[in-house]
Amino acid sequence: MKMKYISCLFIFLLITSMVLAGCGSTTGGSAAKSEVEKIIGEAEKLPMEELYRKAAEESNGKTMYGIGNSSRGATAATSFIEELQKIDPSYNGTIEWSQPKNNSIFTLINADITSSTHTYSMTLIQDGNQIQSKMLDTGNLLNFIPKDWKAAEGVDEKADGHPLTLQTLNKVFMFNNLGNKEFINCWDFVAEGVKPLYMGVDSEPVGKNFLYMLTSEKYSTYLKNAFEKLDSTKQAYFKKTINEVADNAASLGLKSENAKYGLSWIKLWCEQYNEQTDDGPICNELVTTSAAGESGLLVYSKLRSVEESETSSVNNITIAAYQDGYEGIGGYAYKHYLQVVKTSPLPWTACAFIAHMVTTEEGFYAWGKDMGGYSANPTINQDHSKDGFVDGVDTYPSKNDRGFDWWTAEEGGALVLEDPAYCAEVSFNMSDWIDVIIGNKAAAAEAK
């Protein structure tokens, strides 16, 4: 009788725990998925053709609103609409694309999500630090990984899938070669009195992310290795700052053994860079005959728009990392990410448009037509290794892009790649530290 009672009690407790567990699955840590999340889950199983079909059905006669840091989203939208019209010749949906200024994209997305009505369906967004802390950690943006993208040859899902990367863009060190100055080591750009042209870190946050990344194990070691290739006179000059900031590494919560090299390079850079409002003017300045010996860190693709004249030429500049024997980092790279807004009114269309941009040559063409921008899907990248050729002659060697693999290898361009998670981890302390340096520089300039 006692055994029967124990058995009944055991069964009762087992059933009760199962019921409670079932209730917990909808209200506890594993909350039920939203409709947008469910659609993303379904969309990730479908090939491109089926995504086009779902998008055509959902958005026919409607307007999908996208928002991004690149205006070229509007160009990609044209080829996307053409694909939907192949599925349904009567399709008459449209895409409205907006590019907010002054880093307001995060504010606009948040306002749309919290409003009673929702406008934006997807975004093309940059600045890994803010994306991680404001958008991914909060769940405001949702990741979608297209099936065809994931299956493409050469795709690195670990590096580019979370969040999904549209492209990586590079900013590289350049200098005007008409003078007698040499820049054969990345430390030469922070030598006394160099004053490289650069967009201010407060006007373009990806530039600040670049500085954060220099404190990581990988890139601080790159800087250490480059430092050790300097002659003894240059080492002695930089060693003063390296020793000065050595104790800051611990107080800033940095874990890299070589963080002091990153901190010293950052300090020297911030103390003297010549702040500019945009990379276009920087490029236009560097290529002139009057800019002998000047240097800068700017978007590589700006060279495409240089108008050759007696006083301006691409041949007046040298890409630092293209020199034989150059040591250290050749610049940095940041990414454009594609995400679905969690309150997306047209999630199928958003997923299909994202897939179009990362799996088809037509979808990526708006960005891929220029050097310096590399799709996370290598199969749709264009070859820009001979962009400097004119009528078969290598006329402008600086425009011959050596490609993503070369630029990101330590033995190549050694670009500093943005890591959203790392930037978000160190930015709280590092941002203030950098701001103090820049503030001191501004105060000193004003005192003069």
> Is the domain of 242 the same as that of 351?
no
> Is the domain of 257 the same as that of 209?
yes
- Is 39 among the domain residues? yes
Give the residues across from 95 on adjacent strands: 64
- Is 21 among the domain residues? no
Residues 87-110: tens digit of each pLDDT? 999 999 999 999 998 778 999 999
- Is 160 among the domain residues? yes
Domain boundary among 380, 411, 437: 380
> Is the domain of 435 the same as that of 296?
yes
- Is 5 among the domain residues? no
Q: Please spell the DSSP secondary structure of 122-169, one letter per residue.
A: EEEE--HHHIIIIIITTTSEE----HHHHHSTT--HHHHBTTBEEEEE
> Is the domain of 209 the same as that of 272?
yes
Residues 116-163: tens digit of each pLDDT? 999 999 999 999 998 998 999 999 999 999 999 999 999 999 999 999
Residues 361-380: tens digit of each pLDDT? 999 999 999 999 999 999 99
pLDDT of residue 359: 98
Global pTM value: 0.89
- Is 15 among the domain residues? no
d(CA 204, CA 101): 11
Place of tokens 């503030």: 439
Residue 16 has pLDDT above 70, yes or no: no
DSSP 8-state symbol, 139: T
Q: What is the CATH number of the domain that holds 196?
A: 3.40.190.10
pLDDT of residue 442: 84
> Is the domain of 203 the same as that of 284?
yes
Q: Which domain holds residue 81?
A: 35-166+335-380
> Is the domain of 304 the same as that of 429?
yes
Domains identified in the chain, total number: 2
Alpha-carbon Rg for the chain, nearest whole angstrom, is 26
> Is the domain of 158 the same as that of 181?
no
- Asked whether the beta carbons of 222 and 414 are under 8 A apart, the reply is yes
> Is the domain of 413 the same as that of 275?
yes
Structure tokens belonging to residue 97: 């694309």
Mean pLDDT of the chain: 92
Structure tokens belonging to residue 9: 């009690």
Residues 173-215: tens digit of each pLDDT? 999 999 899 999 999 999 999 999 999 888 888 999 999 999 9
CB atoms within 10 A of CB 257: 12
Average pLDDT over residues 79-90: 97
pLDDT of residue 20: 39
Domain boundary among 380, 407, 435: 380
Band of residue 29 on the pLDDT scale cut at 50, 70, 90: very low
- Is 23 among the domain residues? no
d(CA 92, CA 300): 38
Question: Crossing angle, helix 420-447 and helix 205-213, to 10 degrees?
Answer: 110
> Is the domain of 320 the same as that of 176?
yes
Structure tokens belonging to residue 387: 């962009």
d(CA 198, CA 168): 19
- Is 29 among the domain residues? no
Cβ neighbourhood burial of 49 (10 Å; 0-12, 13-18, 19+): exposed
Structure tokens belonging to residue 348: 């199928």
- Does residue 225 or residue 200 have the better pLDDT? 225
The closest of 322, 441, 335, 342 to 388, measured between CA atoms, is 322
The closest of 321, 288, 271 to 179, measured between CA atoms, is 288
> Is the domain of 353 the same as that of 428?
no
Half-sphere exposure of residue 402: CA atoms within 13 angstroms, side-chain side? 18
- Is 1 among the domain residues? no
